[in-house]
Amino acid sequence: MPVEPITVEGPAGPLSADLTRPDRSRAALLLAHGAGAGYRHATMVALGEALARVDVATLRFNFPFTEAGRRRVDAPATAQAAVVAAAGVLAARCPDVPLCVGGHSFGGRMASHALADGLVDARALICTSFPLHPAQRPGTERAAHLSRIEVPMLFVSGTRDALAGRDLLAGVVADLGGRATLHWLEDADHGYRARKRVRQDPRPVFDELAEAVAGFLDRVL
């Protein structure tokens, strides 16, 4: 699948990005990266490739802190401004398909805040490994803003994700009513690793994730 390197004019300077666009796309998804790795991390590349196989175009981009080589994540306002800038680029490059926003872990959370605050216009929110709480510190405070999002939402999470207790995340999604859907990746952890001797689903985790996204988009778009 061809990948086109592009530049996003971010809130504090240019941000590196890659656009993956299948020949026939059903949607375009802004795929923001997590706190621990940039847009070309193997996990992010695998997500983009798997989604391309189900005809979803993706734009992966660096947040300013990653572009600058810093470890500490950006302030929420800066991260959300980067999401808005990247979403604008993706909408301009893929004008004929619905725009969705989201991402992995921190990236998905920042995209959800941008939507909740009315900073970006999108048809759906797709969060993979939504970081509901820090490891070993269960809570739901990070989900308080989700009730302000009016578009359909999909949460795809591993059953062994230490940052999203199963009962807690299921409760959050249930409270959002018909606007939100939750798909569990069997035996996957926060980084999508699964144990071969335990996982019963024959599909690779990234393929299962992509098929869940495709099914969600078919229902809501």
Q: Which amino acid is at 15?
A: L
Q: What is the pLDDT of residue 112?
A: 98
Joined together, the tokens standing for residue 192 give 């999508």
Q: How far apart are CA 6 and CA 85, in angstroms?
A: 13
- pLDDT tens for the chain, 221 residues: list them: 689 999 999 998 999 999 999 999 999 999 999 999 999 999 999 999 999 999 999 999 999 999 999 999 999 999 999 999 999 999 999 999 999 999 999 999 999 999 999 999 999 999 999 999 999 999 999 999 999 999 999 999 999 999 999 999 999 999 999 999 999 999 999 999 999 888 888 889 999 999 999 999 999 99
Q: How far apart are CA 137 and CA 86, in angstroms?
A: 32
Q: What is the pLDDT of residue 125?
A: 98
Domains and CATH numbers, the chain: 3-220 (3.40.50.1820)
Q: What is the pLDDT of residue 2?
A: 83
Give ∠ CA 109-111-114 in degrees, rounded to 5.
Answer: 115
Q: How far apart are CA 217 and CA 56, in angstroms?
A: 9
**Collapsed DSSP state (helix, strand, coil) of residue 179:** helix
Stated as kind and residue range, the H or E segment containing 81 is helix 76-93
How many residues comprise the chain? 221
